[in-house]
Amino acid sequence: MSRTWVTPGGVHPPENKHQSVTQPIGQLPIPEKLIIPLSQHIGAPAIPCVEMGQQVLKGQVIAQAAGMVSIPMHAPSSGTISAIEHRPIAHASGMLAPCIEITTDGADTWIEHEGISDYEHISPRKLIEMIGNAGISGMGGAGFPSAVKLNPGRQRPIDTLIVNATECEPYITADDSAIRERAGEIVEGIKILSAILDHPHHIMIGIEDNKPEAIEALAPHVEGTGISVVVFPTKYPSGGEKQLIYILTGRELPAGKLPADEGMVCINIGTTYAIKRAVIDGEPLISRVTTVTGDAVGTPRNYDTLIGTPVRHLLEHNQFNEQAGGRVVMGGPMMGFTLPSADVPIVKTTNCILAPSYAEIPDDEPAQPCIRCGMCAEACPVSLLPQQLFWYAQAQEHDRLEAHNLFDCIECGACSYVCPSNIPLVQYYRAAKGEIRQAREEKVKSDHARDRFEFHKERIEQAEREKEAKRAARREATQQAKADHAAAANGSAVPSAAPSTPATAAPAGAVPSSSAADIIAAAQARAAAKQASPEDQRAKLERTIASAEQRLKMAEEKLAEAINDDSGKQDKLSAAVENTRQKLEQSKSKLAELAE
């Protein structure tokens, strides 16, 4: 038995998992239409590479990755591109986002594809490229692109690989069912990850003790592989990344740090299976196991669901009773959110569609004033102070929120679950985080605008300083030229005299003094310096000749067009042609003289 550590806080809500694991993973009929959002991951949305009316095959790329932190999208089934537009997506606000709609043809025809079985002899960079091209992102959390997480270009080597099979949310059994039926493929995916990460010393599958069938299914496949199946007591939210790392290693992840900074990588069990399919089978991520459960559906079950399947399609094939339930939740009851419409599509992070009855999850009761009981602080798995965070969020005191580590909150909902006053604490924290992020973005934009303004202002001032320096130089040169001219004139008329001796008339033919000669020589040198070199003069004359020839040609064409014009225009054009021809001849003569 491997040692485990106990995290602070946490709660034990009713699990309600047995309903959806009584049957094996099912298959749904192919929907008539599939709606594929272009942003199913953290990072830039993918860019469409198909057109309206285009025929596509299953697995074909329909949108390219838009940068390093982005992933491509693939057609989940064969059909025709019927729309590329903004549609409602899986979000609590019902926001619109760019999507591609495919009208399926029912044939489900694959593109040609093949994987590699001898991955041990493939470079990690090539394997990561295959994972990125398959469009794989984290399937248990925020959807971080897996190719970026696994990128070996890091400063510290990875010594610990953790596979998250916790699935601590009530109702959800997608990972549990996948392990029961696909344990061998999941372990193969872990071996691929190990090869990419240069075979870490510690490889652990973290799983709660409420999944005995899954634990039993893994046992024969991990024997002799160096992979440990670590079982620990069930408690919500043990599936959080920081919580699981502490449970399995006893190491706390510092605030603002990623697991890779501490030599660890944490991967969801569903992502591991998708990586196996991408490398060995050559298949992109176009489907996932999704739990459909709740008392308002007739047949709670797990389904291998195509990405882009409308939620309504799942509910209709599970005898959804709309009268029995008041809401449809994407995700679990703790961290999920109520869908504004059942027409939104399944995405890569959708692990559950929950249709509870009114008895299971009653409508929200009005929030009451905080009674300062402290139960929220006891339940917090991150050891924050939810009560203070709530007050600061209400007052929009962002500095205090950050000082109390608001961004360490994993939004697990444990504080809201235990609150006797029914205060939706997590909603306040989410809103406050959004406001802080927006304020940061606005500050960045403001700083950028200020820097641009100051740079522009400095550039104008520098230009003015340069202009003033040129004007001063011209004034000085003019004054000096006048002084030189006057000195030269005086030097030719009168002899130079010492400062202490009055000037007297110079005899005819007198030679200027040495100082006057120096002044004249300096003036002549400046004049010579201002003259262009022969090469520059020749280039200038050549440009002038080329321009004159062009003008002459245009003038002759206009004259030819006006040959029958009796309005006097012909005379003017003739004069213009002659004038241009004369200027051209003058320029050619100057060029010839310069050549001599």
Instruction: Output the six-digit token pair for 387.
Output: 């009560």
Q: CA-to-CA distance for 430 and 443, rounded, in angstroms?
A: 20
Domain identity same for 389 and 340: no
The annotation places the binding site at: 370, 373, 376, 380, 409, 412, 415, 419
Q: How many domains does the chain have?
A: 3
Q: CB neighbours of 476 closer than 8 A, spacing ≥ 6?
A: none
Domain identity same for 188 and 259: yes
Task: Show pLDDT as tens, one digit a residue, over the chain (596 residues).
Answer: 578 999 999 999 999 999 999 999 999 999 999 999 998 888 889 999 999 999 999 999 999 999 888 999 999 999 999 999 999 988 777 788 999 999 999 999 999 999 998 999 999 999 999 999 999 999 987 788 999 999 865 567 899 999 999 999 999 999 999 999 999 999 999 999 999 999 999 999 999 999 999 999 999 999 999 999 999 999 999 999 999 999 999 999 888 888 988 999 999 999 999 999 999 999 999 999 999 999 999 989 999 999 999 999 999 999 998 888 778 999 999 999 999 889 999 999 999 999 999 888 887 789 999 999 999 999 999 999 999 999 999 999 999 999 999 999 999 999 999 999 999 999 999 999 989 999 998 999 999 999 999 999 999 999 999 999 988 888 888 888 888 888 877 765 444 444 443 444 444 444 444 455 556 666 666 666 555 567 777 777 788 888 888 888 887 777 777 665 655 666 777 777 788 888 888 888 877 777 76
The annotation places the binding site for [4Fe-4S] cluster at: 370, 373, 376, 380, 409, 412, 415, 419
Give SS3 for 308. coil
Select from 6, 15, 7, 11 the least CA-distant residue to 419: 11
Domain identity same for 551 and 526: no
Select from 245, 139, 253, 136 the least CA-distant residue to 196: 136
DSSP string, 495-542: ----TTS---PPPTTPPPPHHHHHHHHHHHHHHHHHSPPHHHHHHHHH
- Is residue 503 situated within a structural domain? no
Identify the burial level of 273 via C-beta atoms within 10 angstroms of its C-beta, where 0-12 means exposed, 13-18 middle and 19 or more buried.
buried
- Is residue 385 situated within a structural domain? yes
Domain identity same for 297 and 392: no
CB atoms near residue 141 (< 10 Å)? 19
Domain identity same for 461 and 427: yes
- Is residue 54 situated within a structural domain? yes
Domain identity same for 269 and 328: yes
Write out the residue range of the structural domain in which residue 589 sits. 534-595
- Global model pTM greater than 0.85: no
